[in-house]
Amino acid sequence: MDEFNLHLSSIEDIKEEEKRLHQEYKEKLAELKKIQKEKEYVGQVFTKGLLPIYVLHILSIKPSNGNDIATKIGERTNGLWIPSTGGIYPILKKLEKEEYIIGEWDDPKKKFQKIYSLTPKGIEEYKIRKSLLKPKIEESLKVFKIIYKDLYKYL
């Protein structure tokens, strides 16, 4: 093989290696994206599935502002779940738009903080959601126990 063909062969080898590395990179990137999506999904179970009803629950106990709601959830879950106010305020806004809650300024002149409370329509909605969600939560707890047992072999 002359020098020219040897040179072409090494260029082709390099190109093949580049293709292989690029494919490997794309596969690893897809795997990382999948892992990230799974993490986000687990978080969404709480924020999208449980947070709205838990906000209604906290407000059924006592009118509160968004920061206090996050703090109360953190206290009630012994610090295991402390939702961000960035997740709570959009829910409050949505619940207010649906007329399930009403927000009133603690001082209408200063407009420092809004105190949210359930409306009669919100009380009814809370009761409905609570009854609909109960069997789903019970089922989820059973599934979590099975998976936990399978993964960790505890009874």
Average pLDDT over residues 66-72: 95
> The domain spanning residue 120 has which CATH number?
1.10.10.10
Q: Give the residue with greater pLDDT, 26 vs 72.
A: 72
What is the C-alpha separation between 133 and 52, in angstroms, rounded? 12
Q: Which domain holds residue 40?
A: 3-152
**What does pTM read for this prediction?**
0.65
What is the C-alpha separation between 99 and 148, in angstroms, rounded? 40
Per the CB < 8 A criterion, the answer to whether 69 and 112 are in contact is no
CB atoms within 10 A of CB 132: 10
What confidence tier does 41 reach under pLDDT thresholds 50, 70, 90? Answer: very low
Cβ-Cβ contacts under 8 Å for 100 (sequence gap 6 or more): 56, 118, 119, 121, 122, 125, 126
Average pLDDT over residues 106-122: 87
Q: Give the residue with greater pLDDT, 9 vs 109.
A: 109
For the chain, what is the domain count? Answer: 1
Contacts by 78-82, CB closer than 8 A, 24 or more apart: 81/46
